[in-house]
Amino acid sequence: MHHDEYLRFQQRRDFFRSFGGMLGGVALSNLLGAAEAPGNPLAPKKPHFAAKARNVIFFFQEGGPSHLDLYDPKPALQKWHGQPLPPSMSKNLNFVFVKPDAKVLGTERTFKPYGQSGTEFSDYIPHIGAHADDICLIRSMHTEAFNHHPGQALLFSGSTQFGRPTAGAWVSYGLGSESQDMPAFVVLSSGKGTSGGSMNWASGFLPSTYAGTVFRNSGEPILYLPNPPGVTRDTQRARLDLIRKLNEERQYDTGDASIASRVHSYELAFRMQSAAPQFLDFSQESAKTLEDYGVNKEPTHPYAVNCLLARRMVERGVRFVMLAHASWDDHQEINRKLKKNCAITDQPIGALIGDLKSRGLLDSTLLVWAGEFGRTPVGQFERVDEDPGRDHHPNCFSVWAAGGGVKGGQVIGKTDEIGLQVAENPVHIHDLQATMLNTLGLEHTRLTYRHMGRDFRLTDVGGKVVKQMLL
């Protein structure tokens, strides 16, 4: 606020205060009502109805993991291996890099049933498979987007158009946060980094308070968070007190609600300066816990740290944690590359499920494992002697959920004999989003934000709750 503006504000306020009488009191009351002091935009909010889940951990496997090599066994792939798709199957197909008459690619993976449910999982993911009775596996997911950026935008924002709020932002907007010292929405990244980048955790047209905060798993947890040399905590506190006072004066004068978000961001950053480094202090974790996650060994270390951080964050009230691992975009050498990514992620994810369960947190924490699409049953061959890969495939793929009101030990949906098309119980991305919000006590058609004259929502104009998924 400029000095002249501040003087004019003081003069107006002094006028109302000194005017006295009923007219002055009414005027001051109206002014105060129009511009309340900044509040906390992340204060906990009541859900629309009783919730089963209080937090979300979203395992985002960027690039499109192969459902055919991990979650959806297809013996017929071996029968058709090396042969082109018959015309009845290839009609109206639209792949990104290969032609519809490309040769079928069998899988070298073996599958076996796990748990009392007998759900089959690949030999690459035994630690996830060990929790089959907690997992609801959807084999009939489908999407419209067959390229990475639009696919990721649809998965997280409900639209292939960029610039809309993402799932974590919507959840933070709808429920606020139970953590006083950390953001409501935290992002933990490993691997090459997602191709969609910050688009996958942006707040879009929601206030920036609801955007995801990237949290690093080594060094400074959040870049530029610590004070620079020579600035003490007391100095920083005094500076923030002055900034807060000026912002309150400004909001009082203008009624600009966005100032509340700005004030809250400053205050949260100040509290995070003490709280964030504590998250990386694993000295209170048992040696067995660190071993179970694979924290102190390769290749699991980075992802194991992120999984352990995710548990510590939901324990402390962080509302939405995204673990983004890239890349699963296996156009060539699918056997080698898929093995590498599973070796990195399978043990930590299995350990996290077991850890949450043993601490009584799984019932209140929704886990979702997903990529933006799946992979084709036909192969992508660059050279005759090369280990081939698979192309992008939006027509059908697999996703799973566990905990937080989800009924485990079941498989929803079915694909055809080679995993090319959905055969039973199709589940769209919007349906998954609606169901995720439902576990949190949020009705997806009511969680809206008015922007440019329209009430937007995460599920766009579609979505239905998959009731079979829920307890």
pLDDT digits (tens, 9 = 90+) for 123-135: 999 999 999 999 9
Residue 193 exposure: Cα atoms within 13 Å on the Cβ side: 6
Question: pLDDT-derived band of residue 34, with 50, 70 and 90 as boundaries?
Answer: very low
Mean pLDDT (the chain) is 86
> From CA 435, how far away is CA 444, in angstroms rounded?
8
Beta bridge partners of 163: none
Let me know whether 252 and 357 are in one domain: no
Do 236 and 339 lie in a common domain? no
Is residue 46 included in any domain, yes or no?
no
Rounded distance, CA 462 to CA 467, Å? 16
Residues 334 and 436 in one domain: yes
pLDDT in tens, 167-210: 999 999 999 999 888 889 999 999 887 777 889 999 999 988 89
In a domain, residue 39? The reply is: no
Domain harbouring 182, CATH code: 3.40.720
Judge if 178 and 207 occupy the same domain.
yes
Model confidence at 7, in pLDDT bands (50, 70, 90)? very low
Residue 120: name the closest of 76, 77, 69 by CA. Answer: 69
Which residues are bridge partners to 107 per DSSP?
none
As a whole number of angstroms, the distance between CA 200 and CA 190 comes to 14
Judged by DSSP in three states, 100 sits in coil
d(CA 354, CA 292): 9
Question: For 404-458, what is each residue's pLDDT tens digit?
Answer: 999 999 999 999 999 999 999 999 999 999 999 999 999 999 999 999 999 999 9
Residue 285 is assigned to a structural domain of this protein: no
Assess whether 373 and 263 both reside in one domain.
no
Strands (E), 307-407: 320-326, 365-370, 374-380, 389-393, 397-402
Residues 326 and 386 in one domain: yes
3-state secondary structure of 356: helix
Has residue 459 been placed in a domain?
yes
Q: Give the Cα separation of 67 and 85 in Å (integer).
A: 19
102 assigned to some structural domain:
yes
Residues 25-37, mean pLDDT to the nearest whole number: 35
Q: Own/partner pairs for 237-243, CB < 8 Å, 24+ apart? A: 237/270, 240/266, 240/267, 240/270
- 306 and 210 fall within a common domain: yes
**Full domain range(s) for residue 371:** 55-218+290-469
User: Could you give the number of structural domains in the chain?
Assistant: 2
Query: How many angstroms separate the Cα of 349 from the Cα of each of 72, 207, 219, 284, 360?
Result: 19, 32, 23, 20, 17
Can you tell me whether residue 53 is helix, strand or coil? coil
Same domain, residue pair 357 and 437: yes
Asked if 404 contacts 91 with a C-beta cutoff of 8 angstroms, the reply is no
pTM of the complete model beyond 0.75: yes
pLDDT digits (tens, 9 = 90+) for 263-305: 666 666 656 666 667 778 899 999 999 999 999 999 999 999 9
- Within-domain flag for 70: yes
- Judged by DSSP in three states, 456 sits in strand
| b/e sequence 207-224, b meaning 16+ C-beta within 10 Å | bebbbbbbbbbeeebbee
CA-to-CA separations, 78 to 108, 156, 204, 263, 423, in angstroms, rounded: 9, 34, 45, 60, 20
Q: Distance between CA 157 and CA 151 in Å, rounded?
A: 10
CB atoms within 10 A of CB 9: 16
**Judgement on whether residues 270 and 297 belong to the same structural domain of the protein:** no
E-strand ranges in 249-303 read none
Question: 236 and 209, same structural domain?
Answer: no
Q: Which residue has the higher pLDDT, 258 or 7?
A: 258
User: What does each C-alpha distance from 186 to 168, 175, 204 come to in angstroms?
Assistant: 8, 15, 16
Q: Would residue 308 count as lying in a domain?
A: yes
pLDDT recorded at residue 244? 72
Instruction: For residue 30, tell me if it sits in a domain.
Output: no
Q: Give the β-pairing of 365-370 and 397-402.
A: antiparallel
Same domain, 234 and 123: no
Position 366 scores a pLDDT of: 98
What is d(CA 390, CA 63) in angstroms, rounded to the nearest whole number? 11
Residues 271 and 383 in one domain: no
Q: What is the structure's pLDDT at 266?
A: 60
Last residue of a domain, one of 251, 279, 307: 279
